[in-house]
Structure 1
Amino acid sequence: MKILNLTYEDKALKWSLEKANFDKLTLLVGASGVGKTQILNSIMKLKAIADGKSISGIKWNIEFITLENELYNWSGEFENKGDEDFSDDDDDDVKRNKPSVLSETLSLDGKLIIERNSEAILFNNVKTVKLPNQQSIIYLLKEEELIKPSFESFGKILFSDQTDSTREAYRIKFSDTKKLLSSNNTLDKIQESKEDIRIKLYLTYKNVPKIFETIKQRYIDIFPQVEDIKVEPIDYEDDDLPFFFKEYPFIQIKEIGVDKWIKQSNISSGMFRSLIHISEIYLCSEGSVFLIDEFENSLGINCINELTNDILSSKRQIQFIITSHHPYIINNVDYTKWKLVTRTKGIVKTHSPEEYNIGKSKHDAFMQLIQLEQYQTGLEI
């Protein structure tokens, strides 16, 4: 999947995003509080709607391309029942009160295939049987040949936040390990699996050592003090580790001149997060869309430099929509990939650099950016 553009309104929270265009790599820049994170969250909310969730007051239009180069345009609107979480599917009162879909359309390669209002759903101009009015058509008709690629595409959107991931013990039931390894015995199968990225790294370590070695060497390029990485059960006594974790695989690193392996919970946040991001680039499924908020969080300057280069040089069909305040990241990403985010009251806009003649002169593009009042204040002028 590649998201081409998005228009979005949240009537419950009283903010809207005017049409924003996205590239293979889009870097959202701007003052704090203008709406960069909200843009990422809006994409995640559309993923939830595509997965059957009902979200109050949302109105949207999104255009995207699948791996098979199918061009979809999906628009819709939910009734506004205020700023309330309707995601608790086990609560009967919540189920009854969920917002209904007011309207929805889905087009494929310019042809309207679904048209919906509060009374009926037309699929290729034929009225369908009555379907639940609190779930999207992408979810309700996800098994239909024309709609299935759009449903599967939204499943490839990933909010990548690894800031606290060193302490998250990923849980593989040991009884399932052999089954996991046998069913994910090739790189393609690992990439297309729905497993957590840390589990994918374990499967790669066991089943595709050549790719694991590539990931390891790329990591050592960034952290030359490291000589080895393994993903195995911890092989020494650890009083802090519960007994039922004794045979679980954990990421461990070995530094040059140090005999003892550093276990996952003791790896520094920046070092661990760097390994996870490198692994994501190699082990995610084709067509993945990564949303990364404040890319620089918990990363040292050496990590930022190298990981930015990895994202830029990746030849895989993956998309990155990133926010950042860090000068190196902004400087290292071509200014044509920047989107300056501004906000006037509840209206959020994204702007291409050429709107401000950034890059048109010999003056450094970053210096031009930071001197803009729109960048400093986040306000339209």
Structure 2
Amino acid sequence: MRLKSLTFEDKRTGWRLENLRLDRFNLLVGASGVGKTRILRAIQTVRNLGRGVDEPYPKQGVRFDVRFEHEERDYAWQFDSAARDLAPGEDEEGDPLEDSSSVVLSERLHISDEGLLVERNQDRFLFRSTELPTLNRSSSALQLLDEPSIHHLRQAFAEYFSSAMGAQGSTEIVNTTPGPVAKGFPTLESFRGLTGLHPVVKAFILQEGSAERFERFKQLFIDIFPTVEDVRVDRRATMGLGRRIREYLSFKLKERGVPTWIEARDISSGMARTLNHLVDLMLAPAGTVFLIDEFENSLGVNCMGPLTDFILSRADDLQFIITSHHPYIINNIPKSYWKLVRRKGSTVRVTPASEIPALQGPSAQDDFIRLINSPEFEEGME
């Protein structure tokens, strides 16, 4: 999958993203508070509606127009929802066809080789020009329909997105049983259905199912942290309250000259984030969209360089939408990937560096200095 453009409005706050054009690699830069993280959250909202999960979107409604491609087909999906007016004394569970306080006002889905698949408003629901019975008016067409084209698209939204929106420093997970799963995923492509799993689970599956690829993962990490000589994922079980078994998966590290293994709780946040990024990037199938907020979080300069290089090495077959404030990150990613985020009131605009005259100098270093010293970058307001 590759996202090509997005317009988005959150009706609860009035926050609006104007037509965002996206390339294979996108580094969103700009002052704090201009909306970089909210852009990633808007993409997550579109993704959640596309994959048919029950995660709520703003009850006051959203409006978006997203263009994307998947497996050599172009898609255009427009969606508009709003808060549903409740009758006096009516609660939100009063109508089985409207299971939330928002209702879909309109929706269109166009596919390049099939034409208009879905056209919908509050009065009717057309699928391939055939009117359907009244369906849940609070859900997207991608959630409601099981026709092959829709099902295939829903799978794409579920399997070809990976998101790192927090510190991503956790190196342990509780109450999971991935052991049997490891035998069922012998090929790298099979990992496309596991994008939602915690990185330590992915690493355990890799360790148990593909020793060669797990060794490559270890070596990438050791190249960044030369004091480390070994990495493994441990699985252990303990008896909890009520005699319930609690199972743990955790990363462990062995450093040179240190007799004991470093437990998950003692792994530094920079090492933890690097472990998680590496396993996610290694196992992502071609076509995965990566959302990474504040890429530099918890990373020392010794991590930033190798991780940036590794991400750039996969820019041909993955799509990256990354935010960063860090001068080292910005300066070491080609200027052609920069996108400057600015805000005027509640409206956010994103401009490629190629369209900013002040950033067209012959020296990338000089352009970087101009960027971080520009009033647009420092203030972020138009």
- 8 Å CA contact 2:173–2:249 kept in 1: the answer is no
Where does 1:224-373 land on structure 2 (aligned, <5 Å)?
224-233=226-235, 244-245=245-246, 248-314=248-314, 317-363=317-363, 364-373=366-375
Is it true that 1:106 corresponds to 2:112 in the alignment? no
Q: Larger deviation: 25-34 or 150-159?
A: 150-159
Question: How far apart in 1 are the matches of 2:271 and 2:165?
Answer: 14
Change (3 A) 1:306 1:358: farther
Structure 1 residue matching 2:135: 3-state secondary structure: coil
Question: How far apart in 2 are the matches of 1:336 and 1:369?
Answer: 13
- Number of the residue aligned with 1:87: none
What count of residue pairs does the alignment treat as equivalent? 361
1:305 Cα deviation from its structure 2 partner = 1.0
Change (3 A) 1:116 1:361: same
In the alignment, residue 294 of structure 1 is paired with which amino acid?
E
Q: Larger deviation: 187-196 or 311-320?
A: 187-196
In the alignment, residue 223 of structure 1 is paired with which amino acid?
F
- Number of the residue aligned with 1:130: 134
- 8 Å CA contact 1:5–1:22 kept in 2: the answer is yes
Structure 2 residue matching 1:342: 3-state secondary structure: strand
Is it true that 1:17 corresponds to 2:17 in the alignment? yes
Question: How far apart in 2 are the matches of 1:81 and 1:378?
Answer: 35
Is it true that 1:59 corresponds to 2:63 in the alignment? yes
TM-score normalised over the length of structure 2? 0.88
Between Structure 1 and Structure 2, the one with more strand by share is: 2
1:168 Cα deviation from its structure 2 partner = 4.5
- Number of the residue aligned with 1:78: 81
In the alignment, residue 227 of structure 1 is paired with which amino acid?
E
Change (3 A) 1:33 1:128: same
Structure 2 residue matching 1:158: 3-state secondary structure: strand
- 8 Å CA contact 2:35–2:343 kept in 1: the answer is yes
Structure 1 residue matching 2:309: 3-state secondary structure: helix
1:163 Cα deviation from its structure 2 partner = 1.8
- 8 Å CA contact 2:78–2:107 kept in 1: the answer is yes
In the alignment, residue 351 of structure 2 is paired with which amino acid?
H
CA RMSD of aligned residues (A): 2.4
- Number of the residue aligned with 2:376: 374
User: In percent, how many aligned pairs have the same letter?
Assistant: 35
Question: How far apart in 2 are the matches of 1:189 and 1:276?
Answer: 19
TM-score normalised over the length of structure 1? 0.88
Question: How far apart in 1 are the matches of 2:21 and 2:294?
Answer: 20
Structure 2 residue matching 1:271: 3-state secondary structure: helix
In the alignment, residue 199 of structure 2 is paired with which amino acid?
I
1:165 Cα deviation from its structure 2 partner = 3.4
1:315 Cα deviation from its structure 2 partner = 6.0
- Number of the residue aligned with 1:45: 45
1:258 Cα deviation from its structure 2 partner = 0.7
Correspondent of 2:206 among 204, 207, 216: 204
Correspondent of 1:222 among 203, 221, 224: 224
Question: How far apart in 2 are the matches of 1:17 and 1:158?
Answer: 21
- 8 Å CA contact 1:162–1:273 kept in 2: the answer is no
- Number of the residue aligned with 1:187: 188
Gaps of 5+ in 2: 86-91
Gaps of 5+ in 1: 83-90
- 8 Å CA contact 2:7–2:65 kept in 1: the answer is yes
Structure 1 residue matching 2:230: 3-state secondary structure: strand
